[in-house]
């Protein structure tokens, strides 16, 4: 799996500070911008995030390019509706020479099951190539491709959506692949803006577990893990 932030924006905190202070000030936009530029906004931004004034976070978007993931993951990802997605098309991109797939660790650990898994993938790929060779359009041949098929996706979310995304997808109860992607995204977000994402992570970071009776039961260790994250 490879995750990168594409062309990260500059002055994230400044833009958010201007938007937030405009709500509480009679000053003009140019006056606010001057004041913010000349002062440290860390404490103010922390307060805005802490009190839940998250609408101002919607003014900043981050875009991620993600490779080496399965369609199992992307089927979950697109449930986050306040976002934009551009995914590699199986209609236009033929996979006869470039068929890759994701193998879960639980299957990889069993030699017997792993062999059956890879054999099945080989059979599917052979059938897919046969269809293409027989003139079946790629848009129809793709019907036999598995959820494990490797894909690429370009994702854009605003910071408010990202905080919610991390809240539910960094949780131990999230499916392992999308959790791994969310944690890698969060690591990069923390480097880009440690102020905004300081307390970001699963719901138990800032309070009680959001899973209720379905909790993993390891809240203390989870909190320590994310507090130690860069």
Domain ranges for the chain, please list them: 2-85+151-227, 91-148
**Whole-Å CA distances, 14 to 18, 34, 95, 175, 196:** 6, 10, 45, 35, 12
- Output the pLDDT for position 38: 66
DSSP sequence for 129-171: HHHHHTT--HHHHGGG--TTBEEEEEEEEEHHHHHHHHHHHSS
- Output the pLDDT for position 50: 87
β-pairing verdict for 84-87 and 61-70? unpaired
- Output the pLDDT for position 42: 84
Could you say which DSSP state residue 195 is in?
A: T
For the chain, residues with pLDDT lower than 50 are none
- Output the pLDDT for position 141: 98
Note whether 161 and 110 are within 8 A (CB): no
- CATH number for 2-85+151-227 (one of 3.30.200.20, 3.30.1360.170, 3.40.50.2300, 3.40.50.720): it is 3.30.1360.170
Residues with a catalytic annotation lie at 169
pLDDT per residue as tens digits for the range 199-219:
899 999 888 888 888 899 888
- Output the pLDDT for position 230: 58
HSE of 103, CA atoms in CB hemisphere, 13 A: 16
Beta-carbon contacts of residue 48 (< 8 Å; ≥ 6 apart): 16, 17, 20, 56
């Amino acid at each position: 799996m490879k995750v990168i932030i594409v062309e990260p924006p500059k002055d994230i905190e400044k833009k958010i500070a201007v938007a937030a202070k405009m709500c509480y000030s009679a000053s003009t936009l140019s006056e606010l911008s001057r004041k913010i530029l000349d002062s440290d906004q860390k404490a103010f931004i922390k307060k805005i995030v802490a009190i839940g004034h998250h609408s101002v976070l919607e003014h900043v978007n981050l875009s991620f390019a993600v490779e080496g993931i399965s369609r199992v993951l992307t089927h979950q990802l697109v449930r986050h509706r306040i976002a934009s997605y551009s995914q590699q098309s199986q209609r236009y991109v033929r996979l006869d020479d470039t068929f890759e797939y994701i193998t879960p660790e639980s299957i990889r650990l069993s030699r017997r099951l792993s062999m059956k898994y890879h054999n099945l993938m080989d059979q599917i790929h052979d059938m897919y190539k046969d269809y293409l060779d027989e003139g079946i359009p790629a848009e129809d041949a793709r019907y036999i491709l598995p959820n494990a098929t490797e894909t690429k996706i370009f994702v854009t979310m605003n910071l408010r959506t990202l905080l919610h995304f991390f809240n539910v997808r960094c949780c131990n109860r999230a499916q392992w692949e999308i959790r791994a992607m969310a944690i890698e995204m969060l690591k990069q977000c923390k480097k880009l803006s440690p102020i905004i994402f300081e307390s970001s992570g699963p719901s138990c970071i800032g309070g009680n577990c959001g899973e209720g009776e379905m909790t993993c039961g390891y809240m203390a260790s989870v909190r320590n893990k994310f507090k130690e994250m860069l």
